[in-house]
């Protein structure tokens, strides 16, 4: 089996090295990742300039693009053989609830939705790498177990691992996405020449972290696994909108 590994933190970060090490003796792995931090890039594709892959001394491929660019090229001709699966991470920082809308880690996995096997996105709930071995352990176990899954095509599994040593993890739970409140207001800054700018502020607080959500699971010490799909159609709303269209045309 061939696995394409990517992330949004960058090709030289400890999370992607830990993920590659965890999977390298399980499958043929190739790493294609952004040359710099592209957190928050979501599913952006670079369309205004060419992308230039660069092979690094460790065998990884660095790309001057987004996480989605990396997987897109990896699945569409950059590699001699098409991968069977995409695995993204290990992100240093959570990707819970509404975070999946912005996450480059999740977006890289979503770009792997065309393959026959499910894609995985792995995140550790810390900006520090101390407990990366915990996340790497679950990455290996879950990817190994993928053949027992019966999932519809284009399914992505979003996995969040508490920032705990392995012996303190209480288990694994299947969850739904929770929800955050609105983010804090952007922070206004003025440079020495008087030009105004804004920093995007912290994500909103947890608004729905009830039992069954990914927020609740990780706060209780469980690894959270949330199946995602790209189709965002609000099917229930379709049933109530017929009358609204009457008389429009």
Q: Where is pLDDT greater, at 76 or 239?
A: 76
Residues 6+ apart with CB under 8 A from 242: none
**In the chain, what are the domain boundaries?**
2-179+207-247
What's the CATH architecture for 2-179+207-247? 3-Layer(aba) Sandwich (3.40)
Q: Residue 77: is the preceding peptide bond cis (ω within 30°)?
A: no
> What percent of the chain stands above pLDDT 90?
81
**Which residues does the annotation place in the binding site for a divalent metal cation?**
8-9, 39, 91
Tens digits of residue pLDDT in 41-64: 999 999 999 999 999 999 999 999
**Which residues does the annotation place in the binding site?**
8-9, 39, 91
Tens digits of residue pLDDT in 81-132: 999 999 999 999 999 999 999 999 999 999 999 898 999 999 999 999 999 9
Contact 28, 3 (CB under 8 A): yes
Distance CA 138, CA 217 (A): 15
Closest CA to 95 of 84, 82, 113, 107: 107
Tens digits of residue pLDDT in 207-217: 888 999 999 99
pLDDT at 56: 97
* Greatest distance between any 2 Cα atoms in the chain: 65
pTM: 0.93
């Amino acid at each position: 089996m061939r696995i394409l590994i990517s992330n949004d933190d960058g090709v030289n970060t400890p999370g992607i090295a830990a993920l590659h090490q965890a999977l390298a003796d399980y499958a043929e792995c190739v790493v294609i990742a952004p040359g710099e931090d592209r957190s928050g890039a979501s599913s952006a594709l670079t369309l205004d300039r060419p992308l230039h892959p660069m092979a690094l001394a460790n065998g990884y491929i660095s790309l001057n693009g987004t996480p989605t660019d990396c997987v897109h090229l990896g699945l569409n001709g950059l590699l001699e053989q098409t991968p069977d699966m995409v695995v993204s991470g290990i992100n240093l920082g959570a990707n819970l609830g509404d975070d999946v809308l912005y996450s480059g880690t999740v977006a890289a996995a979503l770009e792997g939705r065309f393959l026959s096997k499910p894609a995985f996105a792995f995140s550790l709930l810390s900006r520090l790498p101390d407990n990366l071995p915990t996340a790497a352990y679950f990455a290996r176990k879950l990817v190994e177990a993928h053949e027992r899954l019966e999932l519809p095509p284009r399914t992505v599994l979003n996995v969040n691992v508490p920032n705990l040593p392995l012996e303190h993890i209480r288990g694994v739970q299947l969850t739904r996405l929770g929800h955050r409140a609105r983010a804090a207001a952007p922070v206004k800054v003025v440079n020495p020449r008087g030009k105004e700018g804004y920093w995007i502020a912290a994500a909103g607080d947890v608004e729905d972290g009830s039992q069954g959500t990914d927020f609740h699971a990780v706060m209780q010490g469980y690894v959270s696994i949330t199946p995602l799909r790209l189709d965002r159609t609000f099917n229930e709303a379709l049933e109530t909108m017929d009358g609204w269209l009457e008389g429009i045309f």
